[in-house]
């Protein structure tokens, strides 16, 4: 059984915490950066954001929040 401590110490979570928006992107690069950090491809993230935007409306809000909060690739911490 995976505990919360093990989950947040895992390699997957480390990659997710280090999300960076790629310099070369179509709109904002949110789906591309999520595709690089997770085992899901960028097109799957795009489909998920589109589906949740059409169905419930919060996909677009989540996308915009990630666009604002995730730093660009070339920005220093």
Tens-level pLDDT at each residue, the chain (77 residues): 567 666 556 666 677 777 888 877 667 889 988 988 888 899 999 999 999 999 988 999 999 999 998 888 776 55
The overall pTM is greater than 0.85: no
Cβ proximity of 60 and 53 under 8 Å: yes
Q: Tell me the H-state helices in 9-69.
A: 11-17, 30-37, 42-55, 58-69
Cβ proximity of 44 and 38 under 8 Å: no
């Amino acid at each position: 059984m995976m505990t919360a401590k093990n989950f947040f110490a895992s390699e997957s979570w480390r990659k997710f915490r280090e999300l960076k928006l790629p310099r070369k992107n179509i709109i904002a690069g949110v789906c591309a950066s999520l595709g690089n950090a997770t085992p899901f491809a960028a097109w799957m993230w795009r489909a998920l954001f589109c589906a949740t935007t059409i169905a419930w409306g919060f996909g677009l809000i989540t996308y915009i929040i990630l666009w604002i909060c995730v730093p660009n690739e070339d920005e220093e911490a």
